[in-house]
Amino acid sequence: MIIIDGKQYDIGSQNLENLEQVFNKVVEDGHLEDRIVTDVRINEEPFTEIYPHQAEDIDMSEVESVEIVTMTTDDMAVEITLELYKVVNIMAEGSKRVSELFRQADDAEALETYQDLIDVMRNFLNMIGVLRDQYSLDEHPEFLKSAEELNSMFTEMGSVLENEDWILLADLLEYEFLPAVEKWKKVIKHLRDDIRTNKS
């Protein structure tokens, strides 16, 4: 028995030998068009491939039920904006932590955490860029202003880092970077509204 999003799916009279063939058939029949699989259950147990093409090794004689849960790509984009909101909070906490560590003269730990913060920031901006290209038709002034502000801040923090002026870097993180990061909550809200508008 194969169930996709709560509805039974008749695979026809084809003799499919393994789970991968079932997945391929579901894709061929167009059931996953503009959708993202969020969950797969085999015999009522969660299933995730541990290695590539593991589904090929699962014989259909061992399978009583396959349940596939999906969501639209638009709904997934909205979910991602909710996650990005959490990332803003993580970055805010991260900048406070780095600033604190520099003030305590724990430079090694501070630099390591600072590097993590910059990596999170880069990934965050990349994801915002992808979502904007895909869904956002408007040029929001908040987005442009916030992106510009972060870019100039990166440059400034980079030169302060080179000069190894840790107290100045702590000040920049606390008094400039932190408020700049908080502004992204508004940008994410606009992005989410755009996605919802384009969806309807």
Same domain, 80 and 158: yes
- Predicted local distance difference test score (pLDDT) of residue 13: 52
Judge if 109 and 152 occupy the same domain.
yes
Task: Evaluate whether 154 touches 180 at the Cβ level (below 8 Å).
Answer: no
Are 125 and 40 contained in the same domain?
Answer: no
Distance CA 199, CA 75 (A): 8
Look up the domain containing 155 and give its range: 75-199
Q: Answer yes or no: is 172 within a domain.
A: yes
Roughly what angle, to the nearest 10 degrees, separates helices 73-103 and 184-199?
Answer: 170
Say if 112 falls within a structural domain: yes
Closest among 164, 73, 180 to 121, alpha carbons compared: 180
Residue 140 and residue 187 in contact, taking contact as beta carbons nearer than 8 Å: yes
- Pick from 4-13, 48-57, 155-164: least confident: 4-13
Among 24-28, 40-44, 92-96, where is mean pLDDT lowest? 24-28
**Helix axis angle, 141-162 to 107-135, nearest 10°:** 150
Q: Report pLDDT digits (tens) over 80-99.
A: 888 898 999 999 999 999 99
Q: What is the mean pLDDT of residues 138-163?
A: 84
Q: Do residues 86 and 139 both lie within one domain?
A: yes
Q: Residue 51: what pLDDT?
A: 87
Same domain, 102 and 23: no
Q: What is the pTM of this model?
A: 0.68
* Domain-embedded: residue 84: yes
Tens digits of residue pLDDT in 67-77: 999 888 888 88
- Assess whether 94 and 45 both reside in one domain: no
Say whether both 59 and 94 belong to one domain: no
Distance CA 196, CA 136 (A): 10
Note the pLDDT of residue 27: 87
CB atoms within 10 A of CB 167: 12
Identify whether residues 178 and 106 lie together within a single domain.
yes
Instruction: Let me know whether 87 and 159 are in one domain.
Output: yes
Q: Could you give the CA distance from residue 4 to residue 37 in angstroms, rounded to a whole number?
A: 10
Number of domains comprising the chain: 2
State whether 99 and 160 are in the same domain.
Answer: yes
* Domain membership flag for residue 69: no
Q: Are residues 29 and 112 in the same domain?
A: no
Question: What's the rounded Cα separation, in Å, for the pair 3 and 8?
Answer: 4
Task: Assess contact for 200 and 74: CB atoms under 8 A.
Answer: no
Confirm if 93 and 58 have CB atoms less than 8 A apart. Answer: no
Q: Are 127 and 193 members of one domain?
A: yes
Per-residue pLDDT band for 137 (boundaries 50, 70, 90) equals: low
Residue 43 falls inside a structural domain: yes
Question: Residue 14 above 80 pLDDT?
Answer: no
